[in-house]
Structure 1
Amino acid sequence: MQAATIKLFLVHGSPNGLRTAELSNWSGKAIAAPRTEISELLKREELANPGFYLLTGVDPESGDRVIYIGEAENVTNRLKGHAAKDFWNSATVFVSKDENLTKAHIRYLEGALIERANDNGSAIVINSVSSGARLPESDAAEMDVFLEKCLQLLPVLGVPDFSKKVDHASESQDLLYCKIKGLTATGKRTANGFVVFAGSQAVLEHRPSAKRMRAKREQLIDKGLLQPKDDHLLFAKDVEFGSPSTAGSVVRGGNTNGLTNWKNAKGIQLKELETNET
């Protein structure tokens, strides 16, 4: 991504409250708010226009981040329809300041975001299917640029679920390993938690006591991110977790202390490595 200047406006002065975000020389605008300020968000004139939105929260059973991605020609009306859903605790909306986003544009953007979120795997996507929209080549190229600007703003607004995975090949000295029963998983600390790289191995069976991790592992298997191979499971893609412990627990099939079970090539625990860095 290119360098950019972000204009962030805190409507009520709170960094976690209702806020708007814009980029220099960009026709888009983002408006975000916690659920506690949803009434104020719905009063914004911008939301009467076409746009797409993201509802983010936490799954009450697994503790994982969840996200819903939607679009509407009138975002205000659509968000009112989500009031009965209890999984989300914040909303982020993107609209165009020049009002040039059409229904086809926002469907295209919605579909692209759902696809990226599913590929990233760092959050459970509530709506895993989108019809998307086919656009003329020039429009699609324009919307791809618009989307890249949105992706620059999302982490600033507290939505890190679309951040690109770490390139582990270029930083091999920072790789960490989690081993169990002759199996090895490879990973690395990230700004959002911990990523386990494609090709890593995990135990085939869950521990009997691993209720929460069992559900998490089964979700990954259902998505095809964890795939059976011989006597173990294999990570088909890079998967980012919220912490080293969650990552290690998926690898080992039950609750695990990631700070002690992830080690570098010399066998030094992650806990010790981070202590030495401070």
Structure 2
Amino acid sequence: MQPATIKLFLTDGKPAGIRTAEISNWTGKAIAGPHSELTKLLQREELLSPRIYFLTGVDAETDMPTLYIGEAESVVKRLKQHDKREWNQVAAFVSKDENLTKAHIRYLEGALIVRANHSNTVQVLNNASSGAKLPESDQAEMDVFLEKVLQLLPLLSLGNAVDAFKIIESNDDPLNINNSESVLTCSIKGFTAKGKRTANGFVVFKDSQAVAIDRASSNRIKKKREQYLKDGLLVLNDDHLVFTQDYEFSSPSAAAAIIRGGSRYDHFWCIG
């Protein structure tokens, strides 16, 4: 992403209230707020025309962050329809020059849903979108708009649901090849996993190995590993597990606990 100067505005001075965000030299604008401020949100003129929007919350049964991605010619009307849906925060992205058409927002919705569905840590409430076919020039313009949306989302205090769009530092990043000291190894019982520290925690690389048997005292880790197997992040390969994609954990120890089948207070990762 390109360097950016971002302007955040708290409309009533409260960090948890309605806020707007803009990027210098960009025609887009974000409006975000909590469900408790729905009446005020419905009065925002920016939400009366075609927009892309996000609803975030938490699933009561699984405690996983939830995310709904929508498009509407009038977000105000759509929010009224969503009033009974379990959501905590909403964010909508508008075009200050009124240049977003129905086709544009359908294209953005489709691209965002595809990205979000790659996440194993967020429950996406809509899993399909027809998207829209755009002329080449319009698609290029919307790809730039999409990049700005993804740049602003983490700053809008929408909860962990926006982790669905988190950009992970991949094992394919040339920096990993040229800087071998940044790559760390975790070995146990002849199985090896590789990863590196990131700004948000620790990423384990695709094809890393993990033990197949859980430690007897690791009920919490066992449940997480079972969920990762269900989601397809881990797959069984003979006598061990394998990561099917790069995956970011909150810390090196959290990653090692999944690899080792439980937590232990020793040195997990080493250079190599």
Unmatched 5+ stretches in structure 1: 267-278
Residues 236 and 84 of structure 1: CA distance in aligned 2, closer, same or farther (over 3 Å): same
1:263 to 251, 255, 269: 269
Residue 250 (structure 1) aligns with: 258
- Is 1:165 aligned with 2:136? no
Contact 1:198–1:237 (Cα < 8 Å) also in 2? yes
Residues 75 and 218 of structure 1: CA distance in aligned 2, closer, same or farther (over 3 Å): farther
Residues 193 and 12 of structure 1: CA distance in aligned 2, closer, same or farther (over 3 Å): farther
Residue 11 (structure 1) aligns with: 11
Residues 91 and 236 of structure 1: CA distance in aligned 2, closer, same or farther (over 3 Å): same
Counterpart CA distance in 1 for 2:241 and 2:120 is 17
Deviation at 1:29, TM superposition (A): 0.9
Counterpart CA distance in 2 for 1:211 and 1:39 is 44
- Is 1:70 aligned with 2:70? yes
2:238 to 221, 230, 245: 230
Residue 135 (structure 2) aligns with: 136
Counterpart CA distance in 2 for 1:264 and 1:145 is 39
Residues 42 and 243 of structure 1: CA distance in aligned 2, closer, same or farther (over 3 Å): farther
Range 209-218 or range 166-175, more displaced:
209-218
Deviation at 1:245, TM superposition (A): 4.8
Deviation at 1:76, TM superposition (A): 1.7
1:201 to 199, 205, 209: 209
Summarize deviations over 1:71-116 as a string: whole Å, max 9, x none: 1111122223333333x32221111112221222111111111222
1:1-278 alignment to 2 at 5 Å? 1-86=1-86, 88-158=87-157, 159-168=162-171, 169=176, 170-206=178-214, 213-214=221-222, 216-254=224-262, 256=263, 260=266, 262-265=268-271
Contact 1:178–1:248 (Cα < 8 Å) also in 2? yes
Unmatched 5+ stretches in structure 2: none
Counterpart CA distance in 2 for 1:42 and 1:92 is 12
Contact 2:170–2:246 (Cα < 8 Å) also in 1? no
Summarize deviations over 1:108-131 as a string: whole Å, max 9, x none: 111111222233545332322222
**Aligned AA for 2:29?**
K
Contact 2:196–2:204 (Cα < 8 Å) also in 1? yes
Residue 276 (structure 1) aligns with: none
Summarize deviations over 1:201-257 as a string: whole Å, max 9, x none: 123355677665455444433443322322222111111234445433433345x36
Contact 2:122–2:163 (Cα < 8 Å) also in 1? no
Range 221-230 or range 207-216, more displaced:
207-216
Q: What percentage of aligned pairs have identical amino acids?
A: 58
What is the CA RMSD across the aligned residues, in angstroms? 2.7
Counterpart CA distance in 2 for 1:214 and 1:76 is 43
